[in-house]
Amino acid sequence: MSHFSFRQAALAGLTALLPVLATAGTPFVVNGKTFTDQKAYVDSGARCTTVQPSALEQLLLAAKEQSFAAEQAAKGRDVYQTAGGTIPVYWHVITNTSGQGAPTATQINNQIAVLNAAYASAGFTFNLVQTTTTANNTWYTCTGGTCESQMKNALRQGGPGTLNIYSNNMGGGLLGWATFPSNYNSQPKMDGVVVLYSTLPGGNAAPYNLGDTGTHEVGHWLGLYHTFQGGCNGSGDSVSDTPAEKSPAYGCPTGRNSCRTKPGNDPITNFMDYTDDSCMNTFSAGQNTRMNAQFTQYRPTP
Ligand SMILES: [Ca+2]
Ligand SMILES: [Ca+2]
Ligand SMILES: [Zn+2]
């Protein structure tokens, strides 16, 4: 390489870095809580507080999934084919006792439309059956724990294949959390998705206000892990066609490649990463297959 092309390459590298440098150190505010910058926010874990399995738990779950698939195959059934179908949705609006925190009916319908667009390729359709509204100051700011058990025990509807979504004003800059299909059997009442109400389309949680917090959390509810699960090593997110990713991406980076020795750039447009709503727009074919297998195994009835 000549000195000239080296300088060009160095300049190109610097140019690629500039947007990152521009946002580094810029205070980042989510739902009234201020973080040093967007990276600090994403690193704090507030973006999604879904409890992820340990590497060992993930291995044990994978073994159970493989044996279920083998049992089904022996019966002439393929769990990896599209189960799809219509998922009934119960939406539980949680407001404070002054009535604050209620999304409009249009926002809820638009959120369901965002889900239907995102999950069309996986074969799932979401049908809003009922919206309830509950005023409870404790549940309104609930971030998990006793208030979560109380709220879900009081409100949850349906069986394993019924999606319960709770919207509230969880604090701490949290956007949402969900339970996995494999959690249903031991804790059926806890099953569901909780989202910050201002993440719904038209809410004020920019850059997370196009409804993709809902998309992301429903992805967990259908059995998907984060694209950065397990980092660069091992089975990662248990999906072979999502490139390995060392750590969550944020904003909407160009050409991010955090696992240099693994093929492909990071899947920053994937709904299961941590990028901005305007940046994430896809599930992979492998994720669609995994969701259907998980649904067949753990959520066979509504
Ligand atoms: Ca992967
Ligand atoms: Ca790579
Ligand atoms: Zn998540």
CA 199, 205, 206, 207 dihedral sign is negative
Indicate the SS3 state at residue 199.
Answer: helix
pLDDT value at residue 45: 96
Neighbours of 15 (CB within 10 A): 9
pLDDT value at residue 23: 77
Catalytic-role residue among 65, 148, 217, 245: 217
**Whole-model pTM over 0.85:** yes
**Closest ligand to residue 272's CA:** 3
On whether the CB atoms of residues 99 and 135 are closer than 8 A, the answer is yes
Neighbours of 158 (CB within 10 A): 18
Find, among 283, 225, 290, the residue nearest to 82 by Cα. Answer: 290
- Domain extents in the chain: 36-49+84-233+287-302
pLDDT value at residue 24: 83
pLDDT value at residue 1: 40
Q: How far apart are CA 215 and CA 11, in angstroms?
A: 38
Pair of tokens at residue 76: 């002439």
**Closest ligand to residue 234's CA:** 1
On whether the CB atoms of residues 163 and 184 are closer than 8 A, the answer is no
Q: Give the Å distance between the CA of 186 and the centre of ligand 1.
A: 27
Q: Give the Å distance between the CA of 229 and the centre of ligand 1.
A: 8
Pair of tokens at residue 217: 């959390």
pLDDT value at residue 226: 98
Q: Give the Å distance between the CA of 129 and the centre of ligand 3.
A: 25
Indicate the SS3 state at residue 113.
Answer: helix
pLDDT value at residue 11: 57
- Mean pLDDT by groups of 10 residues along the chain of 302 residues: 54 56 84 97 97 95 96 93 89 98 98 98 97 98 98 98 98 97 98 98 98 99 98 94 98 98 97 98 98 96 95
CATH number of 36-49+84-233+287-302: 3.40.390.10
Find, among 251, 268, 271, the residue nearest to 259 by Cα. Answer: 268
Pair of tokens at residue 173: 């800059």
CA angle 225, 227, 231 (to 5 degrees): 105
Q: Give the Å distance between the CA of 217 and the centre of ligand 3.
A: 6
Q: Give the Å distance between the CA of 242 and the centre of ligand 2.
A: 10
pLDDT value at residue 2: 45
Q: How far apart are CA 65 and CA 297, in angstroms?
A: 8
Task: Based on the residue annotation, tell me whether 217 is a catalytic residue of this protein.
Answer: yes
**Closest ligand to residue 255's CA:** 2
Q: How far apart are CA 50 and CA 181, in angstroms?
A: 12
Q: How far apart are CA 61 and CA 118, in angstroms?
A: 26
Helices (H), the chain: 3-23, 38-44, 55-74, 105-119, 137-140, 146-155, 212-221, 285-298
